[in-house]
Amino acid sequence: MKILVVDDEQKICEFVKAYLDREGYEVTVTYNGKDAIENFENTDYDLVVLDRMLPDISGEEVCRYIRKKSDLPIIMLTAKIEDEDRIEGFTLGCDDYLCKPFNVRELVFRVKAILKRSNKISEDNIIKIGDEVEIDTLSYQVKIRKELVSLTNTEYKILLLLLSNPHKVYTRAEILEQLEEGYYEKDDRAVDSHIKNLRQKIEKNPKDCKIVQTVYGIGYKFGLKNKKHFT
């Protein structure tokens, strides 16, 4: 998971990054609001740790900017300890608020808790495998390498079927059987045609398929690993 840390104090950034790195997170550090916004626009982060007092654009403005465009979790850091300041921070849209000086281990605990809650909300309808494939089963949207792709109903069902059991190799006959009523093609060679069209849309190189793989003499399987969740 990717985390953006924004603070103008280098030592704080170094400590926070070291602890989060140790937990397996991919951490980017910036020291001002302008770079924070630029990084946010160019990278798909899972959480932002944001200092309220920055040298150029204030943390409040960065928080407002992010919140207008995303529901990305934000933990705000601040030296202001008054209740009114904390309430204002939550009003801006931050998800948690930590006063300086703080224990870095407490920050890591809060990061884990927020990401756990965030993932639990999205688990019900999102299937995500690294940065390669993301399927929203409520909207029927499919993203490949973060780009929306347009699949036919049959292509969508085949992709979802293969992904639902990535260790299984499906024969052409099994794929036909699993398609819902309304699919009238009974020739299992039609599956090859659908697979070919699907690969043209989702593979980087359709001649070297990584997502939908052929198991010669048997059928097809889902090729990617590191599946984050499936429900």
Over the stretch 51-70, which tens digit does the pLDDT of each residue have?
A: 999 999 999 999 999 988 88
Considering the entire predicted model, what is its pTM? Answer: 0.54
Q: What are the phi and psi torsion angles at 103 (to 5°)?
A: -85, 125
Looking at residue 122, what is its pLDDT? Answer: 53
Return the amino acid letter for 178: Q
Looking at residue 32, what is its pLDDT? Answer: 96
Q: Is the pLDDT reported for residue 182 higher than 70? A: no
Tokens of 227: 């599946």
Tens-digit pLDDT profile for residues 85-130 = 667 777 777 888 888 888 999 999 999 888 877 665 455 677 888 7
152 Cβ contact list (under 8 Å, min separation 6): 194, 197
Q: Is the pLDDT reported for residue 175 higher than 50? A: yes
Domain 126-229 has CATH 3.30.365.10: no
Residue limits of CATH 1.10.10.10 in the chain: 126-229
Looking at residue 14, what is its pLDDT? Answer: 94
Give CA–CA dist 129/11, Å, rounded.
34
The arithmetic mean of pLDDT across residues 172-200, rounded, is 76
Query: What is the average pLDDT value for the chain, to the nearest integer?
Result: 85
- Following DSSP, what letter does each residue of 45-74 receive, concatenated? -SEEEEES--SSS-HHHHHHHHHHH----E
Give CA–CA dist 98/101, Å, rounded.
9
Tens-digit pLDDT profile for residues 6-28 = 999 999 999 999 999 998 899 99
- Would you give the distance in Å from CA 227 to the centre of its chain? 11
Residue limits of CATH 3.40.50.2300 in the chain: 2-123
Domain 2-123 has CATH 2.40.50.40: no
Residue whose structure tokens are 């809650």 = 117
